[in-house]
Amino acid sequence: MNVFGVGLPEMALIMVLALLVFGPKKLPEIGRSMGKAIKGFQEASREFEEEFKKEAQQIEKVVTTPMKATLEPESPKVLTPPEVAAEVEPEVAPLESSDTNGSSPAAEPAETDSPA
Protein backbone atom coordinates (compact mmCIF):
# COMPACT_ATOMS: atom_id res chain seq x y z
CA MET A 1 0.00 0.00 0.00
CA ASN A 2 1.44 3.32 -1.12
CA VAL A 3 -0.40 6.56 -0.20
CA PHE A 4 1.21 9.85 -1.31
CA GLY A 5 4.52 8.05 -1.74
CA VAL A 6 4.45 6.83 1.88
CA GLY A 7 4.43 3.10 2.57
CA LEU A 8 2.78 1.19 5.43
CA PRO A 9 5.80 1.27 7.80
CA GLU A 10 6.21 5.03 7.37
CA MET A 11 2.46 5.56 8.01
CA ALA A 12 2.65 3.54 11.24
CA LEU A 13 5.66 5.60 12.40
CA ILE A 14 3.82 8.88 11.65
CA MET A 15 0.75 7.67 13.58
CA VAL A 16 2.85 6.71 16.62
CA LEU A 17 4.62 10.10 16.57
CA ALA A 18 1.27 11.94 16.26
CA LEU A 19 -0.10 9.93 19.20
CA LEU A 20 2.93 10.89 21.32
CA VAL A 21 2.84 14.57 20.34
CA PHE A 22 -0.90 15.27 20.52
CA GLY A 23 -2.06 12.63 23.00
CA PRO A 24 -4.96 10.16 22.84
CA LYS A 25 -7.67 12.82 23.52
CA LYS A 26 -6.61 15.28 20.84
CA LEU A 27 -5.80 12.75 18.09
CA PRO A 28 -9.44 11.91 17.14
CA GLU A 29 -10.26 15.62 16.83
CA ILE A 30 -7.26 16.19 14.58
CA GLY A 31 -8.16 13.15 12.49
CA ARG A 32 -11.75 14.39 12.15
CA SER A 33 -10.69 17.88 11.08
CA MET A 34 -8.17 16.43 8.61
CA GLY A 35 -10.92 14.22 7.16
CA LYS A 36 -13.27 17.21 6.77
CA ALA A 37 -10.52 19.24 5.09
CA ILE A 38 -9.74 16.43 2.64
CA LYS A 39 -13.46 15.95 1.90
CA GLY A 40 -13.86 19.69 1.25
CA PHE A 41 -10.85 19.65 -1.05
CA GLN A 42 -12.27 16.69 -2.98
CA GLU A 43 -15.65 18.42 -3.38
CA ALA A 44 -14.01 21.63 -4.59
CA SER A 45 -11.85 19.62 -6.99
CA ARG A 46 -14.89 17.79 -8.35
CA GLU A 47 -16.83 21.06 -8.77
CA PHE A 48 -13.90 22.66 -10.60
CA GLU A 49 -13.62 19.64 -12.89
CA GLU A 50 -17.36 19.77 -13.71
CA GLU A 51 -17.18 23.52 -14.50
CA PHE A 52 -14.10 22.96 -16.65
CA LYS A 53 -15.82 20.18 -18.61
CA LYS A 54 -18.97 22.29 -19.05
CA GLU A 55 -16.96 25.24 -20.40
CA ALA A 56 -14.94 22.95 -22.69
CA GLN A 57 -18.16 21.47 -24.14
CA GLN A 58 -19.60 24.95 -24.64
CA ILE A 59 -16.47 26.14 -26.45
CA GLU A 60 -16.43 22.99 -28.58
CA LYS A 61 -20.08 23.55 -29.48
CA VAL A 62 -19.39 27.14 -30.53
CA VAL A 63 -16.37 26.12 -32.60
CA THR A 64 -18.12 23.27 -34.40
CA THR A 65 -21.36 25.20 -35.10
CA PRO A 66 -21.27 26.69 -38.61
CA MET A 67 -21.43 30.46 -38.73
CA LYS A 68 -24.29 32.23 -40.48
CA ALA A 69 -23.25 35.31 -42.41
CA THR A 70 -25.77 37.94 -43.37
CA LEU A 71 -25.34 41.18 -45.26
CA GLU A 72 -26.51 44.39 -43.68
CA PRO A 73 -28.92 46.47 -45.78
CA GLU A 74 -27.29 49.43 -47.49
CA SER A 75 -27.77 52.71 -45.71
CA PRO A 76 -29.29 55.50 -47.84
CA LYS A 77 -27.30 58.15 -45.95
CA VAL A 78 -23.91 59.22 -47.22
CA LEU A 79 -21.62 60.75 -44.66
CA THR A 80 -19.30 63.50 -45.82
CA PRO A 81 -16.37 65.00 -43.97
CA PRO A 82 -17.03 68.44 -42.38
CA GLU A 83 -14.66 70.18 -44.82
CA VAL A 84 -16.62 68.96 -47.85
CA ALA A 85 -19.97 69.72 -46.22
CA ALA A 86 -18.90 73.35 -45.59
CA GLU A 87 -17.92 73.84 -49.24
CA VAL A 88 -21.24 72.55 -50.57
CA GLU A 89 -24.04 75.00 -49.73
CA PRO A 90 -27.59 73.74 -50.05
CA GLU A 91 -29.69 75.40 -52.72
CA VAL A 92 -32.59 77.47 -51.38
CA ALA A 93 -35.63 77.87 -53.61
CA PRO A 94 -37.06 81.41 -53.75
CA LEU A 95 -40.33 81.89 -51.93
CA GLU A 96 -43.41 82.45 -54.10
CA SER A 97 -45.56 85.31 -52.91
CA SER A 98 -49.27 85.62 -53.42
CA ASP A 99 -49.09 89.42 -53.92
CA THR A 100 -50.08 90.75 -57.30
CA ASN A 101 -47.33 93.36 -57.36
CA GLY A 102 -44.58 90.73 -57.07
CA SER A 103 -42.97 92.03 -53.89
CA SER A 104 -42.31 89.72 -51.04
CA PRO A 105 -43.89 90.30 -47.65
CA ALA A 106 -40.42 90.70 -46.09
CA ALA A 107 -39.66 93.72 -48.33
CA GLU A 108 -42.57 95.77 -46.94
CA PRO A 109 -41.64 98.23 -44.18
CA ALA A 110 -42.80 97.32 -40.72
CA GLU A 111 -45.44 99.52 -39.13
CA THR A 112 -44.41 101.42 -36.02
CA ASP A 113 -46.52 103.00 -33.30
CA SER A 114 -44.71 106.32 -33.47
CA PRO A 115 -46.78 109.21 -34.84
CA ALA A 116 -45.53 110.63 -38.12
> 91-101: per-residue pLDDT in tens?
556 666 555 55
Q: For residue range 15-52, list pLDDT tens digits in order.
A: 888 888 888 888 888 889 888 998 999 999 999 999 99
Q: Which residues are CB-contacts of 22 (< 8 A; sequence separation ≥ 6)?
A: 30
Q: 64 pLDDT exceeds 60?
A: yes
The reported pLDDT for the residue numbered 73 is: 75
The predicted pLDDT at position 94 comes to 61
Model confidence at 55, in pLDDT bands (50, 70, 90)? very high
72/111 Cα distance (integer angstroms)? 58
